[in-house]
Every structure is written in C-alpha cells, then in structure tokens.
Structure 1
Amino acid sequence: MIFKATSAAILVSALAVFSSYTPQVEAHSWVDCVDWRFNKPGPNQDWSDKGGKCMGYARRFPLNKAFGSLDSANPSRHYQQAGNPNKALPCSDHKHGKDIGSNETRADPPEDAYGGIWGHMTVTNVGDQLCVRWPAKNHAESNEDDTEVQINFSTNRDGKDPTQEQLLANKPILLPYKNCNRGPIPDRRACGGCFDVPKRAPGLYLMQWRWMLNPGEWYTSCADIQIGAGNVGKNLVAVKGKGKSTNHKGKH
C-alpha cells in the first residue's frame, strides 16, 4: 500500500513537471506584424492589440488568429534554420529546417501571398519608420537573456529571394528581443521594435526578421516590402507618404 501511494505520488509529480514544461518546447517566436501602427505614437509603446493595428504582414500570414497562438497551428509559424545558420534557407519552404514552419516562399506574382485570408503586403518609403511586432513566447522574462533580432533587407529588387549569405552581406538592423509590454501571461506578451527603412531604389524587396534564441539557433519570418512607387495592387495597402512617418515614433 505504501509502495502504491508513493508510486502514485511520483507519477503525479512527473506529470506536473511535464505539463509545466511542454509549452516551453514550442515557445519559439515569429513576426506577428511587419507594419505595426500605434494608436498613440510616443515613447510609451503599446504593442498589444488595443494599442494599435497592423497594416502589413509576413507572407501567407493568417488573419483573425489570437495573438501568439500560431505555434499550435498546423503548420506553425516558427521556422528554425538547419545546418550552418549563415548558409541556411532564409525563408521557410515548409519542407526544410529543424522546425519547418509554414510556407514563406516567394509567390509568383508576389502579391499572391497576400490578401483574402492572408494579411496585406507592406508598402512604405525610404526614411519611413517601420515597427515590427512579435510574441514573447516565454523568452522575455528576467531570467532570460535579451537576445537579438536581426532585420535584414535584400538589395536585389523585384527578383528571387537572396541567400542567407547575401542578406548578411548587408549590415543588419539589430533590435532587442525583450522590448515587450508587461503582462500576466509570459507566452503572450507583445513585443516589438522600430527602425528606419534603409535606402533602396523603388521596388519590391525581401525583409527577413531573424531571431537568435540560443547561440546558432535562429528563427526567421519573411515579408515582401514595396518601397516607393510601384504598381500597387489589390493585395497591397496604400503608401504612407514621403519621408519620416509621424505614426511610428518610438524607441529603436
């Protein structure tokens, strides 16, 4: 009887540990929004759904999903690069990677990856400020390192996606991962960062969000960015205007 009670206690304890650990296994982040616009621009950034709205998304990003919930979707949004991270596939093709993620390959035409059940493509100008948002996924707590987010912009316009090596040949924009709002649920805390759109000739470019969780462990999200004048189709949003955007002020 004592043996059975002890065994049951051990089993319950093991299940409790497993249950508390399981969410952490899938706690890998992705871009939730590429063009986040605050309701109240200023130093007190509110990345929550009440604090603004999204005007541009990653490729084939599903709409009307709860914030931070897409790690349980099929397919999920987290793509982990495999092999040498400096030579890995930059965007998920839903076939390769340690975590294969959803399909973020370039569409033909690129607009086909936007609109309808998916979010709009981002349209902006050189010198405008873009703010990108992501869920914390349990990695913005005080016991976690403040790892980096890379924002990589391609230099080749209106063409096929560059390699990871080509993207890294340009100096990446670095954002702190733990720039997050406070919240009671560590998995669903809203985070983000802002940066100025780099100098490019008008055209369509790849923007890669790339996050290092641990040394050599990188997760990416990819988006098409229309910079400057171009053929704005039904799946694109309107260009914000010339020069600095007053709607995106915040910390870099």
Structure 2
Amino acid sequence: MLFRNSVIASAALALVATMVEAHSWADCVDWRFTDPSKPGWRATDGKCYGWARQYPINSGVSFGGLDSFSPSRHYQQSTSDFLPCSDHRHGVEPGADETRQNPISKAYGGRFGAMAQATPGQKMCVRWPAKNHAKKDEPNNPVMINMPNTILNKDPNQSGFTSANIAKLNYKDCNQIAGDTDRTPCGGCFNVPDGLATGTYVIQWRWMLNQDEYYTSCWDLQVTSKTDGGATTSRLSNSTSIFADLAEDDDN
C-alpha cells in the first residue's frame, strides 16, 4: 500500500510539474467573433478559420491540450540559433514541424487546418491558451506579431522576423476560467499592413516568458485583393482548393 501511494504521489507531482511548465502557442490565427461588439476567446464567442502550419485540427484534443499531444505544439527557441519556426528537431523544446512547405499549400487542408486569408488593412485576431501564465503574479510580456511585408521564397531568420514587427498584443487578454488557469483562452487582434501585393506572406507569433526564453508559432497568410468579390466567401471554408495552384517555391 505504501508503494502504491508513493507511485500515485509521484504521478501527481509529475502532473503538477507538467502543468506548471506548460507553455503557450498560437491555437488559432484567424479567430472571428460571433458578435464583434462582444469579443471573446471562448468557443461560444467565435470560430476559427485559419491555423498555423500543419496544425492537427482532427486530433480530438480539447483547447489548450496540444502540449501533451505528439508532437507538442509549444516550441521554445534555442539561444544558439533562435530558429524562428520549429522544425521538430531543434530548440530547447522542439515543438511540431512548422517549416515552410513546398508548395506552401502542403501545410494546410486534410488533417491540417486551413490557411488564413485576408485583404490588406484587414483586422485579424489570434487565440492562444494561457498555460498558467496569465495569472496576476506572472509577468505580462507582450506577444509579438512579426510579418515581413514582401513575398519571400523562404522564411527569414529570427532577425528578419524581429525587424518586421507589426503588432504587440496583450498576453493576458483572456477569458479567465475559474480553477483552470491552464486552458484559459486568450487572444489579441492586429491589422494586416495596408498596401500589400496579392500573394502569400509569412507571419510569426513570438512570446517571451523569461529573458531569452521565447516561444513561437508560424503560419502563412494568403493576401487577396480588396476587389476580389469571392475573398469573403472563400475564407469561410476549411478547403484549401483555392491554394492548389500556388507556384512552387525554391527549396529552403
């Protein structure tokens, strides 16, 4: 009985440690409110229409649980190279593979979520789980949204992303769930830069928990013309057929 109790206690401590050490990621990169006058991040407040690269929308894991999913969605950069998008091999915490695919559309559709789509100047919202870091006694370091304003044939390095910052979001903008600070939903909104040419751009979500302890998520954004009458309709579908004819990219 003593042995059994010790095992249970050890398992409980391990679970607590996992919860404490859990870190965040971009859960949805195109979150739209059901009622824009009452914005919120709970499932009842809106719906997701765009995800990060190779995001497993059919995993069956509830919101905020993909840190215990294989591969885990949270990726901590290594200070040796600050690889901007996880390749599932490098980093203090390797994370899931969010490298740029060739063609880009390979990272979306089927078992993965749809690619986000927007027009220049459009407001977009991103959602993430608090993972116990939106409490009053936690520092409130902002989420950085980094987006180069040119169409690239490969992802930039971290310096390239950092120099292309377009927004700083409040990490603690959350709908607090009593008794569950781990899966409390949070989010923020930013404007896609105006004047962009039609094409596919890369965006990085980057958050610093502690000094030089950074977590990132990467996704592609299909920017369409404001005069494209079908843009709004196509964004409402999880289908990626509109991206099937994207030009092949150079190998990274």
TM > 0.5 between the two?
A: yes
Matched with 2:53 is 59
Which letter does structure 2 place at the counterpart of 1:164? Q
Matched with 1:28 is 23
CA distance in structure 1 between the aligned counterparts of 2:181 and 2:220, rounded to whole angstroms: 30
CA distance in structure 2 between the aligned counterparts of 1:140 and 1:237, rounded to whole angstroms: 38
Measure how far apart 1:182 and its partner are.
Answer: 1.7
Matched with 1:206 is 202
Specify the structure having the higher radius of gyration (Cα). 1
What is the number of residues matched between the two proteins? 228
Contact 2:127 2:187 in 1 (8 A): yes
1:140 aligns with 2:162: no
Contact 1:149 1:210 in 2 (8 A): yes
Partner residue of 1:38 out of 21, 33, 37:
33
After TM superposition, the structure 1 = structure 2 runs for residues 226-241 of structure 1, keeping only pairs within 5 Å, are 226-229=222-225, 234-235=239-240
Contact 2:131 2:181 in 1 (8 A): yes
- Taking every aligned residue pair, what percent have the same amino acid on both sides? 46
Matched with 2:43 is 49
1:192 aligns with 2:197: no
Contact 1:63 1:118 in 2 (8 A): yes
Contact 2:147 2:165 in 1 (8 A): no
Residue aligned with 2:54, SS: coil
Contact 1:150 1:173 in 2 (8 A): yes
Measure how far apart 1:190 and its partner are.
Answer: 0.4
Measure how far apart 1:9 and its partner are.
Answer: 10
Matched with 1:130 is 124
Residue aligned with 1:167, SS: helix
Runs of 4+ in structure 1 off by over 4 angstroms are 8-19
In structure 2, runs of 5+ residues without a counterpart are 244-252
Q: Structure 1 length as normaliser, TM-score?
A: 0.82
CA distance in structure 2 between the aligned counterparts of 1:12 and 1:69, rounded to whole angstroms: 22
Measure how far apart 1:235 and its partner are.
Answer: 1.0
Which letter does structure 1 place at the counterpart of 2:202? L
Which letter does structure 2 place at the counterpart of 1:30? W
Matched with 2:247 is none
Q: 1:225 to 1:17 in 2, by over 3 A?
A: same
Contact 2:72 2:96 in 1 (8 A): yes
Contact 1:60 1:104 in 2 (8 A): yes
Contact 1:114 1:235 in 2 (8 A): yes
Contact 2:101 2:107 in 1 (8 A): yes
Q: 1:63 to 1:32 in 2, by over 3 A?
A: same
Give CA-to-partner distance per residue, 1:37-79, whole Å, 9 cap, x none. Answer: 000112x422011111001110000114310010001110011
Which letter does structure 2 place at the counterpart of 1:115? G
